[in-house]
Amino acid sequence: MFKKGKSIVFLGSLIIVLYGLSAIFYGKVVARDDAYKELSVFMDVLKKINDDYVEAPNMNKVQEGAMRGLIDALDPYCSFLTKEQYDALQKRNANGNVNLGIVLSKRSDVIYVVSCEHDGPAAEAGIRPGDYLLAVGGQSVEDKSIPEVDSLLRGTPGSQVKVTIFRSTRTKPIDIEMTFKSRSATPVSSKMLDGNVGFLDIASLAGASLEQVKIRLKTLISAGAEQILLDLRDCADGEPSSGAELANYFLRDGILYFSQNRQGEKVQVVEAKAENFVTGLPVVVLINGSTAGAAELVAGAMKDRGRATIVGEKSFGVGSAQRTLPLKSGAVLILSTAKYCTPGGKVIQDEVVRKAGISPDIQAPDDDKRQDLAVESYYDDQDDAGKFRLLQEKIDKIQIDKALEILAGERAKKAA
């Protein structure tokens, strides 16, 4: 289903170019003579396609295909867009003023749903983290970049779009229709829990969320909170600067994160500002597999600096900076130029999936318990959506109970 229909000619040319570019991107030393040799082979392949292919080839398409192959060998957040694709993308973004509340990535070159906004159109329609996106509005997204697919998932309030997804629990693709709507629910909520624990749930770090976070955090403290439970589960959007600001609320000084280039040199070092500090109260941070991007910078800073105990499941692993580079043809190259690291030097977006993301200090539920819950949910007398909802509720309860247990233990130590 997911195998791309690339021709033998494309494969031959792409292998050569991919080798050269991957060597450059990952910092391997390639001798100049070898680089010229590989380039000459590539040019020779192009010439033979032009001269000897069974049909008269469209060389522009051949070279565009080669460019996409180059990008496919890099990380999911790099893109090559022709002038026509880029113009269409900008037009869609300008015309569509709301999205569906989905954060996307790629796995195995297939568009992957990292997170769904709580009570957003996608979640309400039945889209789940872990779904693979195959088509939007009947149009395949197999060869499309993340920015292109994001633009297809924008529209005007009240309009609808049908998406086709593949889910590991189903044997066939599923069509789901969604209705665009303006965000109604606040991305930040808070409440007081037993034991004077202030619970701060952040679903998004995009837009004006940070100001809401600060107000609610201060309100919890004014209401008598003596400990903070910071919930970053399913929080996957927002700029790195938002992650730094949130971490700064709990860290008075020191490094919050830094970015590094392919040589491992620090490009940018972001440090806390004393004037942004809010509280030194004890903190537990909740994360899961849909925690990504700016929220991972928060969790990484709090963990490495010993400021909080991290509870839950390993986060997704998104942490790179992109530059948009216009080309002479009018095409655009979006290229990752740096990776974000925690204060201790942990690369968040690792090439090896099992190394990517932030690992919790305490995993909850552990692998055995999660397996037991999955088996239990299989036998629940519910439809597929009901089983999924009950499973998530059980996991949520385990994670919150574990976090509260840790905070209770800290209170007991303080009282002793």
- Give residue-wise pLDDT tens across range 158-190: 999 999 999 988 889 999 999 998 876 678 999
Q: For residue 101, what is the domain's CATH number?
A: 2.30.42.10
393 and 314 in a single domain? The answer is yes
132 and 250 both lie in a single domain: no
In a domain, 377, yes or no: yes
Task: Name the CA dihedral angle for 345, 111, 294, 325, rounded to a multiple of 10 degrees.
Answer: 80
Structural contact between residues 212 and 186, judged by C-beta atoms closer than 8 angstroms: yes
The reply to whether 259 and 140 lie within a common domain is no
Does residue 2 form part of some domain? no
Q: Which of 114-123, 189-198, 321-330 has the highest mean pLDDT?
A: 189-198
> Looking at 26, 55, 74, which one is the last position of a domain?
74
| pLDDT surpassing 70 at residue 23 | no
Does residue 373 share a domain with residue 289?
Answer: yes
| Domain end marker among 74, 98, 130 | 74
Lowest mean per-residue pLDDT among 4-8, 135-139, 357-361: 4-8
Q: 98 and 17, same structural domain? A: no
> Parallel, antiparallel, or unpaired for β 174-179 and 160-166?
antiparallel
Confidence of residue 264 (pLDDT cuts 50, 70, 90): confident
Overall average pLDDT of the 146-159 stretch: 92
Identify whether residues 166 and 249 lie together within a single domain. Answer: no
Domain containing residue 381: CATH number: 3.90.226.10
Q: Are residues 67 and 101 in the same domain?
A: no
Same domain, 303 and 286: yes
More confident call, 185 vs 103: 103
pLDDT tens readout for residues 283-324: 999 999 999 999 999 999 999 999 999 999 999 999 999 999
Local confidence band at 199 (pLDDT 50, 70, 90 cut-offs) = very high
Does position 29 have pLDDT exceeding 90, yes or no?
A: no
What pLDDT shows up at residue 34?
Answer: 58
Query: Which domain range does residue 313 map to?
Result: 188-321+337-415
Residues 408 and 268 reside in one and the same domain: yes
Digit-coded pLDDT (tens) for 38-93: 667 767 777 777 777 777 777 777 777 777 777 877 889 999 888 888 999 998 88
Question: Are the beta carbons of 260 and 267 closer than 8 angstroms?
Answer: yes
Number of domains present in the structure of the chain: 3
| Whole-number Å distance between alpha carbons of 89 and 70 | 21
175 bridge partner residues:
164
Burial class (CB within 10 angstroms; exposed 0-12, middle 13-18, buried 19+) of 226: middle
Q: State residue 140 phi and psi, 5-degree precision.
A: -60, 140
Three-class SS of residue 59?
A: helix
Residues 280 and 361 in one domain: yes
pTM of the complete model: 0.85
Q: Are residues 212 and 287 in the same domain?
A: yes
Q: Which of 40, 74, 108 is the last residue of a domain?
A: 74
414: nearest Cα among 226, 198, 197, 285: 226
The reply to whether 375 falls in a domain is yes
Name the nearest CA neighbour of 296 among 190, 202, 402, 410: 202
Predicted confidence at residue 375, as pLDDT, reads: 83
For residue 37, name the pLDDT band (cuts at 50, 70, 90): low
Terminal-residue alpha carbon distance, the chain:
61
Do 219 and 258 lie in a common domain? yes
Give domain status of residue 326, yes or no: no
pLDDT the model gives residue 68: 75
**b/e per residue 37-59 (b: at least 16 CB within 10 A):** ebeebbeebbeebeeeeeeeeee
